[in-house]
């Protein structure tokens, strides 16, 4: 693995507090997604083969040269996770070590240095401690956490980066209740292909997908149901979510084939569905199988899973001009039940038998 085993110069975290908190101006009962940022952020720099100490400092624009390879060559990877506030007011962080590990898998694929787990987790805990008042009340939403790692080399040479920045910013976000979303099977675009970067959170994956999303929206759909890049037959993901199909007698989600992001929510939902006694298969799912199950009246539910929406029901799938209409939300059982269980664990309402939640 490229640049593995890098060290932090020191584990101490420097803190520079803001003198003018913006919190009072924020309406925690009416939060948009991803545009309101909390007072502080984490910044750490990597140069000459080692990480410098992390700093928690006021959230502010960065001064960077125009030539940085994050801008020029897309050397940038990121993560997304959430912290909730429980009924007693404590901050609960959900499965953060999984995100630290996935960031490093993303980094390795783009020949970037690993971020030591202690740098990721300790700086995040410090940030959450300082900005704890930014975590919305239990019923209002959550604090969305955005770590990212990108190359800051001041050079236009086309080569792996040598200097990097690691940042963590956070956004209070509202509770995410969606109705059913309608999705369009994209036959024009693919998001991933074997040997590519579909299984990591490379910034460029998202850039390449926006046109398909725009195309879907222009036709009245919320997002895209992605098929595999080789045969254009097998369902991979639903927008920026993993996808689950509830057939009459089993639940199926596409196996992690190397072109699908290993969602933390996907893994959590798989674990909970099995605990709830469902038979769940991880395997390839051909779009023809989905159409055939629909035609036989056996396609009970389709839902996406991801940090932002947790579990999000699909209402209609359009494939080759035909609409697969799913049963109304009132008739859904599996998706709502697993969502309730998962959100209960995340927010401290239910016991956490898997040790997923860290109380800060």
Ligand X SMILES: Cc1ncc(COP(=O)(O)O)c(C=O)c1O
> Which residue in the set 261, 285, 287, 290 belongs to the binding site for ligand X (CB under 6 A)?
261
Give the integer Cα–Cα distance in Å for 267 and 167: 26
The residue range among 43-51, 214-222, 240-248, 294-302 that interacts with ligand X, by the rule CB under 6 A, is: 240-248
* Residue 300: CB minimum distance to ligand X, A: 22
* Interaction of residue 253 with ligand X, rule CB under 6 A: no
Q: Provide, rounded to whole angstroms, the least separation between the CB of residue 290 and ligand X.
A: 18
Q: Are strands 81-85 and 164-174 parallel, antiparallel or unpaired?
A: unpaired
Q: By C-beta, is 213 or 301 nearer to ligand X?
A: 213
Q: 144 is written with which tokens? A: 């969305």
Residue 22 CB, shortest distance to ligand X, in Å, is 27
Judging by beta carbons within 10 Å of its beta carbon (0-12, 13-18, 19+), is residue 249 exposed, middle or buried? Answer: exposed
236 makes contact with ligand X (CB under 6 A): no
Closest contact distance (angstroms) between CB of 265 and ligand X is 3
Q: Which is nearer to ligand X, 83 or 261 (CB)?
A: 261
Map the footprint of ligand X across residues 64-93, applying CB under 6 A. 80
Q: Which residues, in sequence order, are bridge partners of residue 354?
A: none
Which of 123, 242, 259, 347 touches ligand X (CB under 6 A)?
242
Binding part of the chain for ligand X, among 17-25, 44-52, 67-75, 234-242 by CB under 6 A, reads 234-242
If one asks whether residue 246 binds ligand X (CB under 6 A), the answer comes out as no
| Beta strands 141-151 and 76-78, pairing class | antiparallel
Q: Which of 149, 171, 225, 264 binds ligand X (CB under 6 A)?
A: 264
**Per CB under 6 A, does 106 bind ligand X?**
no
Which residue of 38, 69, 123, 307 would you call a contact of ligand X, by CB under 6 A?
A: 307
Q: Which of 145, 227, 240, 280 binds ligand X (CB under 6 A)?
A: 240
Residue of 153, 228, 236, 237 that binds ligand X (CB under 6 A): 237
* Binding flag, residue 335, ligand X (CB under 6 A): no
203 binds ligand X (CB under 6 A): no
As given in the structure block, the two tokens for residue 240 are 């920026």
Of the candidate residues 93, 103, 241, 326, the single one contacting ligand X (CB under 6 A): 241
Distance of CA 296 to the CA centre of its chain: 34
Interacting span for ligand X (CB under 6 A) from 130-138, 168-176, 299-307, 324-332: 299-307
Nearer to ligand X by Cβ, of 56 and 273: the residue is: 273
- Considering only 306, 313, 335, 348, the residue that binds ligand X (CB under 6 A) is 306
Exposed e or buried b per residue across 293-310, where buried means at least 16 C-beta atoms within 10 angstroms of its C-beta: bbeeeebbbbbbbbbbbb
Q: Residue 240 Cβ, how far from ligand X at the closest point, in Å? A: 4
C-beta closer to ligand X: residue 183 or 264 = 264
- CA of residue 264 relative to chain centroid, distance: 8
Binding site for ligand X (CB under 6 A): 80, 237, 240-242, 261, 263-266, 305-307
């Amino acid at each position: 693995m490229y640049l593995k085993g890098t060290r932090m110069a020191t584990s101490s975290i420097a803190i520079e507090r803001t003198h003018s908190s913006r919190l009072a101006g924020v309406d925690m009962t009416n939060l948009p997604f991803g545009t309101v940022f909390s007072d502080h952020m984490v910044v750490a720099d990597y140069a000459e083969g080692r990480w410098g100490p992390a700093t928690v400092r006021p959230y502010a624009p960065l001064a960077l040269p125009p030539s940085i390879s994050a801008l020029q060559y897309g050397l940038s990877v990121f993560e997304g996770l959430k912290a909730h506030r429980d009924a007693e007011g404590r901050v609960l962080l959900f499965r953060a070590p999984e995100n630290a590990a996935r960031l490093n898998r993303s980094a390795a694929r783009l020949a970037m240095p690993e971020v030591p787990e202690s740098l990721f987790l300790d700086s995040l805990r410090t940030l959450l401690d300082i900005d704890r008042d930014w975590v919305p009340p239990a019923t209002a939403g959550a604090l969305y956490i955005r770590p990212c790692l990108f190359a800051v080399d001041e050079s236009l040479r086309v080569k792996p980066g040598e200097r990097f920045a690691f940042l963590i910013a956070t956004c209070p976000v509202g509770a995410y209740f969606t109705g059913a979303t309608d999705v369009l099977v994209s036959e024009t675009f693919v998001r991933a292909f074997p040997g590519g970067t579909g299984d990591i959170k490379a910034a460029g994956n998202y850039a390449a997908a926006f046109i398909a999303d725009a195309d879907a929206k222009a036709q009245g759909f919320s997002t895209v149901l992605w098929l595999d890049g080789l045969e254009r037959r097998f369902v991979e993901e639903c927008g920026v979510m993993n996808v689950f199909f509830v057939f009459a007698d089993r639940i199926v989600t596409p196996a992690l084939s190397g072109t699908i992001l290993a969602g933390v929510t996907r893994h959590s939902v798989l674990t909970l569905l099995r605990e709830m006694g469902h038979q769940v298969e991880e395997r390839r799912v051909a779009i023809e199988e989905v159409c055939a199950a629909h035609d036989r009246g056996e396609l009970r539910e389709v839902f996406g899973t991801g940090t932002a929406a947790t579990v999000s029901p699909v209402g209609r799938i359009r494939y080759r001009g035909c609409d697969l209409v799913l049963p109304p939300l009132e008739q859904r059982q599996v998706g709502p039940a697993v969502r309730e269980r998962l959100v209960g664990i995340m927010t401290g309402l239910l016991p956490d038998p898997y040790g997923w939640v860290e109380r800060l």
